[in-house]
């Protein structure tokens, strides 16, 4: 079935096309001036000293683990209600991801559960700002300091969000971002790392470029590295997207407000819960719009409702399938003992609706009408 209303869509204008075309008219397609400009602009946007552009958010997470010295026998606390790359990056280093439950409102790591999960082997915690909602940074950073834990902020879904007036990605020593086409801004494929320490940033740059340090030549490899570079084309696209980010975030907030109003009757009737438009001390950067279906519907109604919408050409998806229940983690140490009741409950209810900058009021009305009709079929 062709999607008439996609789940997501990048917002590309003539300015982005012109910027990418201009790069194609040069001899520099990799490791050129656009890379440096994008990194400098990205760092300046966050008022951070260093940014390193990489090929994906996954690559950013992996390099963060390496830079922190995470290795075999280490434990890293992570949520299970997130994209699987968060845990995979820990496993790449042969360390153990320890899955912790989430807060039912923010859907981010529950600080109480994080504290309870700390052991003598715990080296770090990856704080994910889920769906663009900032995590409880005061409590999480305080407990990390008490237990001498490294912190990685995963702001892949939250660029532009803030907690108590401070932009996410600026609390920890290392933070990561992603620019896949469904994100608030895109470079096609791509990601970035923010770091406070210039020496750490230089090492990450070497790691992304096959272990080549600045002091060596092209065939001099100082340590084991990776091909995690971001092309000049992607960087040119990112520069324009970043310049448009405030207006794009505003557009996404307007779409969220439209959905919030249209879905009010369904929430009042007890069929679903809307994501909160605002939360104390937080400015949300809208990545997706995810509703939670309620118990008044038949068992497993979410999956059938998802199918009904998809058959009508309306893009939708479950966000997220818990990592610890994925086939790739079957039999993994500690998974069977993981007790994550909030994660499991929320994951069975979530449904992401079409959400992108240019979603029209008419499209939103069609989505909500189709959702209401599908819910009607699932009432007892």
Domain ranges of the chain: 14-242, 245-377
pLDDT at 123: 98
Per the CB < 8 A criterion, the answer to whether 189 and 209 are in contact is no
Asked whether the predicted pLDDT for residue 313 surpasses 80, the reply is: yes
Chain centroid to CA 342: how far? 20
Per-residue pLDDT tens digits for 26-58: 999 999 999 999 999 999 999 999 999 999 999
Which residues, 6 or more positions from 335, have their beta carbon under 8 angstroms from its beta carbon? 99, 324, 329
Q: Nearest-CA neighbor of 158 among 342, 281, 282, 262?
A: 282
Asked whether the predicted pLDDT for residue 213 surpasses 90, the reply is: no
CATH numeric code, 14-242: 3.40.640.10
User: In this structure, what DSSP letter does residue 284 have?
Assistant: -
pTM exceeds 0.95: yes
**212-216, 266-270, 301-305 — which is least confidently predicted?**
212-216
CATH numeric code, 245-377: 3.90.1150.10
Per-residue pLDDT tens digits for 253-289: 999 999 999 999 999 999 999 999 999 999 999 999 9
Cα–Cα distance for residue pair 67/148, rounded to 1 Å: 16
Average pLDDT over residues 209-229: 89
Average pLDDT over residues 70-74: 97
Asked whether the predicted pLDDT for residue 1 surpasses 80, the reply is: no
pLDDT at 79: 98
Which residues, 6 or more positions from 365, have their beta carbon under 8 angstroms from its beta carbon? 262
Strand blocks (E) in 14-145: 50-54, 75-79, 96-100, 122-128
Per the CB < 8 A criterion, the answer to whether 152 and 64 are in contact is yes
Asked whether the predicted pLDDT for residue 115 surpasses 70, the reply is: yes
Average pLDDT over residues 329-358: 94
Q: What average pLDDT is seen over the chain? A: 97
CA–CA–CA angle 99, 105, 106 (5° rounding): 65
């Amino acid at each position: 079935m062709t999607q008439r209303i996609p789940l997501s869509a990048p917002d590309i204008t003539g300015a982005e096309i012109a910027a990418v075309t201009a790069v194609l008219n040069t001899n520099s397609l990799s490791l050129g001036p656009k890379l440096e400009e994008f990194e400098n602009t990205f760092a300046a946007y966050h008022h951070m000293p260093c940014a390193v552009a990489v090929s994906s958010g996954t690559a950013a997470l992996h390099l963060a683990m390496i830079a922190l010295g995470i290795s075999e026998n280490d434990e890293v606390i992570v949520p299970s209600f997130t994209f699987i790359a968060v845990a995979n990056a820990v496993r790449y280093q042969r360390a153990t991801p320890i899955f912790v439950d989430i807060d039912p409102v923010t859907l981010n790591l529950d600080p109480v559960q994080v504290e309870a999960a700390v052991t003598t082997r715990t080296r770090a915690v990856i704080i994910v700002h889920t769906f663009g909602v900032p995590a409880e940074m005061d409590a999480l950073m305080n407990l990390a300091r008490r237990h001498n834990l490294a912190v990685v902020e995963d702001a892949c879904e939250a660029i532009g969000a803030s907690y108590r007036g401070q932009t996410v990605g600026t609390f920890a020593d290392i933070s990561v971002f992603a620019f896949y086409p469904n994100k608030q801004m895109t470079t096609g494929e791509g990601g970035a790392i923010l770091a406070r320490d210039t020496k750490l940033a230089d090492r990450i740059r070497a790691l992304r470029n096959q272990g080549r340090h600045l002091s060596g030549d092209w065939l001099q490899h100082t340590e084991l590295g990776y091909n995690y570079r971001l092309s000049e084309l992607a960087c040119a696209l990112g520069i324009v997207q970043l310049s448009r980010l405030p207006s794009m975030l505003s557009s996404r907030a307007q779409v969220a407000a439209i959905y919030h109003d249209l879905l009010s009757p369904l929430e009042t009737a007890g069929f679903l819960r809307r994501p909160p438009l605002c939360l104390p001390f937080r400015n949300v950067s809208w990545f997706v719009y995810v509703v939670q279906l309620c118990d008044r519907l038949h068992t497993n109604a979410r999956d059938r409702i998802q199918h009904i919408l998809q058959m009508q050409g309306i893009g939708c998806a479950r966000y997220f399938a818990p990592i610890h229940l994925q086939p790739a983690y079957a039999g993994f140490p500690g998974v069977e003992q993981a007790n994550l009741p909030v994660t499991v409950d929320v994951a069975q209810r979530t449904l992401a609706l079409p959400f992108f900058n240019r979603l029209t009021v008419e499209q939103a009305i069609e989505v909500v009408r189709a959702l209401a009709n599908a819910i009607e079929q699932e009432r007892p």
